[in-house]
Amino acid sequence: MQQPPQGAWSGHDQMKPAAEYDIRYGHNLVTDTSSNWRDYIAVTSPTAFSKVKPILAQLPKATSFPEAMDFEYLEGLTQDLPNASMVVGIGGGLALDAAKYVALRKQLPLVLVPTIVSTGAIIHSVFAKWEGRNLGDAAEWPWIDPEYVLVDYDVVLSAPSNLNIAGIGDVLCTYSTVCEWKRHTRLGNGEPYDPKQAVSMFDHHKEIIEKFPKTLDQKGQLTVESVDVIMKAVQDRDERNLRHPNAPAGDHSFIVAVELANDRSWVHGELAALGAVIIAWQTGEKTSEFIADLDRCKVRWRPLAMGMKADELHRGLRECISYMGDTSRGRDMHSVLREEPVVDERFEDLWAWRETL
């Protein structure tokens, strides 16, 4: 008899740690493994499914293409899907997290097949509760542990390089937490910055910055080794991050605020890296060294390179003020982007500084 998956609509502190995930690496994994998938639902995107469909040994019973993570929308989508024996999420972060919702609602086993390796959705059972483009209270976020994750090298390496490399940006952006803590120390707020608590995170960053560029081929393209380094960086991040009340992750709140203000999306890890650069700049920390590390790893973070206009970034930075202080959704983030906002004349300074890089 099939056992229900491990998961719930709250209490995500019970989810499986990233270090314990069953992640399977190799070539032809999708073809070889999908021969055992019977009567399954694929939750994916049109682009991801067009890439994977030709190599599936068994086609899904039903295919769903979610366009958003809003829970009311996902509930309607789930109700329209037939009964099945399992759910397979195929794609990037949105598809994988939407697959978690469907699997939890239907109480079905879940398998994840990332087509890019730049998203924490691959190794986080928890998925955010969304209300449109706004995040609900994190205390109410659901979770479901996948049975396993397939990292098929042929699938992942067929994606545009920047989409995979964004995973490096999503890890290195945690430098912003040190910048925030040092700022609080200068202001006399709370416990003074303790560099010993940041050692593990900085060692992790150093490993990535030294290893990743060496994995690229002679043309600067990603290799199997590159995929391994990105995945390991994303998987190890949870245990190596700096966690302290005076070290808020303003870079990730910046992502949601920018996308909320503009009602559009950018590549997650690239936007996180941009947020971290702005936090470092506004706090007066070592911005040039941080940028050099991002550039060495070929992380695309500059606004224009990401397809972001000045007015879009300005709107997002203005949104940070109210978004980070939205106590109705459990948020009271004491980030520099809220307390010393980069708006108006200060934004003009930022945009002019950007042009010097």
Q: Which segment of 24-28, 121-125, 286-290, 353-357 scores lowest on mean pLDDT?
A: 353-357
Average pLDDT over residues 94-100: 97
Residue 2 lies in a domain: no
Rounded Cα distance, 206 and 233, in Å: 11
Regarding whether 171 and 115 lie in a shared domain, the answer is: no
Query: CATH number for the domain including 118?
Result: 3.40.50.1970
What residue type is 193 in one-letter code? Y
Res. 201: pLDDT tops 60: yes
Contacts of 286 (CB under 8 A, 6+ apart): 280
Q: What's the first-to-final CA gap in the chain, in angstroms?
A: 60
pLDDT at 13: 87
| % of the chain exceeding 70 in pLDDT | 99
State yes or no: pLDDT of 260 exceeds 60.
Answer: yes
Mean per-residue pLDDT for 318-330?
A: 93
Among residues 252, 246, 242, which one has the least CA distance to residue 202?
242
> What pLDDT does 2 receive?
61
Q: What is the pLDDT of residue 249?
A: 94
Give domain status of residue 271, yes or no: yes
Residue 286 lies inside a defined structural domain of this protein: yes
Question: What total of structural domains would you count in the chain?
Answer: 2
Alpha carbon distances (Å) from 47 to 112, 159, 223: 16, 10, 22
Whether residues 143 and 277 fall in one domain: no
Residue 93 resides in a domain: yes
56 plus 36 within the same structural domain: yes
Q: Which residues are CB-contacts of 245 (< 8 A; sequence separation ≥ 6)? A: 190
143 and 53 share one domain: yes
pLDDT of residue 165: 98
> Residue 1's pLDDT is what?
40
Q: Which pLDDT tens digit goes with each residue over 64-89?
A: 999 999 999 999 999 999 999 999 99
Query: Of 127, 156, 185, which residue sits at a domain end?
Result: 156
Euclidean distance between CA atoms 353 and 271, whole angstroms: 18
Same domain, residue pair 141 and 230: no
**Residue 131 above 60 pLDDT?**
yes
How far apart (Å, rounded) are the C-alpha atoms in residues 112 and 86?
Answer: 11
Average pLDDT over residues 12-32: 94
Instruction: State whether 12 and 123 are in the same domain.
Output: yes
pLDDT value of residue 328: 86
Decide: 142 and 126 in contact? Cβ < 8 Å. yes
pTM for the model: 0.94
- Spatial distance between the Cα atoms of 342 and 351, rounded to a whole number of angstroms: 10
Helix (H, G, I), strand (E, B) or coil at 115: coil
Mean pLDDT rounded to a whole number for the chain = 95
Strand pairing class (130-131; 134-135): antiparallel
Q: What are phi and psi of 299, to 5 degrees?
A: -75, 125
CATH of the domain at 260: 1.20.1090.10
Checking if the pLDDT of 278 tops 60, the result is: yes
- Token pair for residue 49? 């499914």
Q: Give DSSP secondary structure letters for 143-168.
A: EE--SEEEEEHHHHTTS-HHHHHHHH
Mean pLDDT confidence for 267-278: 97
Tokens matching residue 46: 């049109």
Range of the domain at 238: 161-354
Q: What is the pLDDT of residue 61?
A: 97
Q: Which of 104, 128, 156 is the last residue of a domain?
A: 156
Quickly state the pLDDT bin for 199 (edges 50, 70, 90).
very high
